[in-house]
Amino acid sequence: MWMITLFAAGIDLSQYEKSETEKTPVPPVINPSFEEGAKGWKLKGKAKVERGFGTVASGGLLLERSNPEEYQLSSQSLRLKPGRIYNFSIMIRSEDVKGGDRRGGTFAVEFSDKNGKWIRGGAYPNGLRGTADWTRIEINHLKVPENTEKTGITLYLGKGCTGKVYYDDLTVTPADMKWTVYPLNAPMSIIAPGKTLRLAFSRDGKSIMNAAKPGKLAVCGEFNGHRMSAPIRDGKASLQLPDKLESSGELKISVVDTARKLILEETAIPLTVRKLPAPQPAASCRIDEQGYAVVNGRRFLPIGIYCNAQFTWELDKIRNAGFNTILPYNSLSMGFSKKKAGWERIGEVFDYCEKNHMKLIFSLKNLYRNAGKWSITSLYDEPTPAAIAEKTARTFRNRPALLGYYTCDELPNQMIPEMTERRNMLNRLDPEHPVWIVGAVGYTTESMKPYGPAADIIGSDPYPIKNNHSIKSMETHLQKTAEAGLPFWIVPQMFNFRRYFPATAQAETFRFPSANEFRSMILLAAGYEPRGYVFYTYTPLCKPDPKLDGNTEENLKTIRHGIGMLRKLEPFLLSGKPVKKLPVKTIKGDIRAWEFSDGNGSRRVAVVALGPGTAEAEITVGAPEQLQSVYGKTVLKNGKWLFRAENIDSDLLSYDKEMK
């Protein structure tokens, strides 16, 4: 232990006790997302696993019952540590569940001893009844009895119930593994000497301020012999780095409760303290102090799209629609020629992007042994996922088209330690390109804060449009993503859910976002200051199917207009000027308004109706007479702008200062 001076008083951490003497290992759950069929599960009755049953057309389990007299249980047994506390959760969706047990379609956690005898202390939460969309059902802070030999996870439709229940993404996480500490301003784990290192702290994705009396929670840090300390306020703390300190190593962190003399958490994060070389290399994407991507010395707004890269004509379509970045899901097998799949063929896509001034985010999302059906564990003579990722970085880190690495596509919280190791390795091998991850808020996680250690840039993928008329759920995603404090790239919806759920009863009512809805999602996101947009997905643009996507020409028009508007907003979204949330006097509906500046006197005001129903409001903005409505939803009356719309809709008010 080392001695430090904290605030005005000395602290001897050797006199502190650890609040938790031993960390509980993360339990191995076999096939938690049903990407490997029924592996690891004991299925009974009409239970079946198929791709398309899951949350995003992924693998999932279906329990179906038409006879209320039937009753079958499907389960998996785990060996959890007796006496420890765990959190359990699973995604559930229901169709016409009725009758019988009030709990409906749900799951349970039960315990048994070495003789197989049931032990009291399990949990049986209420699930879903009727028809309900995907919902995460949770059992939190459940203690495993001391004499437990096996813990059973049981998926079931309550006695006497009929209907259909779908399951996906089981998570089992030790409660004592929920602390999260990560830097907010050290992208690629690098910070300059003399800077203030800002740290974020949370537990269970929530504030840890209730872990100590106000003003008594602090962080102690040691980096290569230099010791620092600071109070933690509102889940954040700032450590001042010396001007002359330049080094690489681990920042050792202790979170302490000075009132109770407790060490609440001990951890370490990799850190390099040095100035970045100037000028910026051509093959580089840096993240500046405001979270913007910087390419060739200038801020860059990724306007990207998820795709496959196998035909140049498809990438031509993407480029001509206004996108400047691609994220090929097939990054590790992409290419255009008939050459054998491999590193040389992958390079063909880099050649295309560099010739056409496009950027590429390289997908490594499947390089985990437990990534399910699409897991890649060896490739091109590389024997492990880590070796493949290392080879990728060494091979392509000097390509000018490379924007960054994509290492997480909605992976559950329990994989965060492995994702963090992957990020640290990529930062070490390639400190000139960021790691981006996407979490499914409301599906695989309730907060993006736990993902902080695993990413330089975070993101989430709100897909609000099915057959409804509200994008309120998208705003929830944006709020939970922004509150993590890291720069984020958002993934807006650019597809029809019918493509992924063609056989569901409601499939014919699903739709591709209309022009108004697509524009509104882009503008709503802008109000939360994302540093990039990567749209999902390219199929309506490059592989349209009217039966699954809707009217092809209308969809293409919607895409072109929405992306065109976004490109025109680039000077405002990259200016670094604060986004002003404007006063809204709501008459009807749910409405947001923001003002954007390009830093040169020009302005844009976005007004968004979240839906559903009629929306009407007065918007107060300075110099209102300067502005003009772009989409005709807003009129100037008595010095204020009156916005009227139906369901999901929006308007832009614009003013361009004449440049002399």
Reported confidence tier of residue 1, pLDDT bands at 50, 70, 90:
very low
Q: What pLDDT sits at residue 659?
A: 43
**Which of 262-266, 292-296, 509-513 is predicted with the least confidence, judged by mean pLDDT?**
262-266
Homologous superfamily (CATH) of 286-573 is Glycosidases (3.20.20.80)
Reported confidence tier of residue 412, pLDDT bands at 50, 70, 90:
confident
Burial level of 196, CB count in 10 A (0-12/13-18/19+)?
exposed
Q: What pLDDT sits at residue 240?
A: 93
* HSE value, Cβ hemisphere, 13 Å, CA-based, for 208: 26
Secondary structure E strands in 175-324: 179-183, 190-191, 196-203, 217-223, 226-231, 236-240, 247-257, 262-273, 286-287, 293-295, 298-300, 303-307
Reported confidence tier of residue 158, pLDDT bands at 50, 70, 90:
very high
Average pLDDT, the chain: 91
* Mean pLDDT, range 439-443, rounded to an integer: 80
**Residue whose tokens read 């719309």:** 645
Q: How many Cβ atoms sit within 10 Å of the Cβ of residue 630?
A: 18
Q: Which two tokens stand for residue 507?
A: 């499939």
Distance (Å, whole) CA 206 – CA 175:
13
Q: What pLDDT sits at residue 203?
A: 72
Q: How many Cβ atoms sit within 10 Å of the Cβ of residue 503?
A: 7
**163 near 105, Cβ under 8 Å?**
yes
Residue 22 has pLDDT above 70, yes or no: no
Higher pLDDT pick, 143 / 20: 143
- For the domain spanning 580-655, the CATH number is 2.60.40.1180
Q: What pLDDT sits at residue 213?
A: 54
Residue 615 has pLDDT above 60, yes or no: yes
Residue 353 has pLDDT above 70, yes or no: yes
User: For residue 480, what are the β-bridge partners?
Assistant: none
Q: What pLDDT sits at residue 658?
A: 61
Reported confidence tier of residue 538, pLDDT bands at 50, 70, 90:
very high
**Which of 83-87, 210-214, 274-278, 507-511 is predicted with the least confidence, judged by mean pLDDT?**
210-214
Distance (Å, whole) CA 576 – CA 529:
10
**Which of 19-23, 134-138, 506-510 is predicted with the least confidence, judged by mean pLDDT?**
19-23
Domain ranges of the chain: 3-20+178-273, 48-175, 286-573, 580-655
**613 near 588, Cβ under 8 Å?**
yes
Q: Which residues of 531-550 are buried (b: 16+ CB within 10 A; e: fewer)?
A: bbbbbbbbbbbbebeeebbb
Distance (Å, whole) CA 627 – CA 426:
47
Residue 658, CA distances (Å) to 248, 565, 602, 626, 647 in order: 49, 20, 9, 12, 35
**2 near 10, Cβ under 8 Å?**
no
**99 near 159, Cβ under 8 Å?**
no
Q: What pLDDT sits at residue 570?
A: 98
- Which residue from 537, 68, 172 is spatially nearest to 330, judged by alpha carbons? 537
The pLDDT tens digits for 265-317 are 889 999 999 999 889 999 999 999 999 999 999 999 999 999 999 999 999 99
User: For residue 250, what are the β-bridge partners?
Assistant: 270
Q: What pLDDT sits at residue 214?
A: 53
Residue 102 has pLDDT above 80, yes or no: yes
Burial level of 228, CB count in 10 A (0-12/13-18/19+)?
buried
* Mean pLDDT, range 327-336, rounded to an integer: 98
* Mean pLDDT, range 85-105, rounded to an integer: 92
Residue 551 has pLDDT above 60, yes or no: yes
- For the domain spanning 48-175, the CATH number is 2.60.120.260
Distance (Å, whole) CA 194 – CA 90:
45
Q: Do domains 3-20+178-273 and 580-655 have the same CATH topology?
A: yes
- Which residue from 402, 323, 390 is spatially nearest to 359, judged by alpha carbons? 402
- Which residue from 653, 656, 595, 596 is spatially nearest to 627, judged by alpha carbons? 653
Residue 426 has pLDDT above 90, yes or no: yes
The pLDDT tens digits for 631-659 are 999 999 988 999 999 999 999 999 997 64
Distance (Å, whole) CA 139 – CA 377:
32
Chain length of the chain: 660
Q: What pLDDT sits at residue 215?
A: 58
CATH tag for 3-20+178-273 (out of 3.20.20.70, 2.60.40.10, 3.40.50.360, 3.30.565.10): 2.60.40.10
**538 near 306, Cβ under 8 Å?**
yes
Residue 619 has pLDDT above 90, yes or no: yes
Q: How many Cβ atoms sit within 10 Å of the Cβ of residue 632?
A: 7
**Residue whose tokens read 């009895």:** 145
* Mean pLDDT, range 519-533, rounded to an integer: 98
* Mean pLDDT, range 510-518, rounded to an integer: 98
The C-alpha R_g of the chain, in whole angstroms, comes to: 26
Reported confidence tier of residue 5, pLDDT bands at 50, 70, 90:
very low
Q: Which residues contact 524 (CB under 8 A, 6 or more apart)?
A: 471, 474, 475, 478, 592, 608, 610, 650
Reported confidence tier of residue 10, pLDDT bands at 50, 70, 90:
very low
The string of DSSP codes covering 597-637 is E-SSS-EEEEEEE--SSEEEEEE--SSGGG-EESSS-EEEE
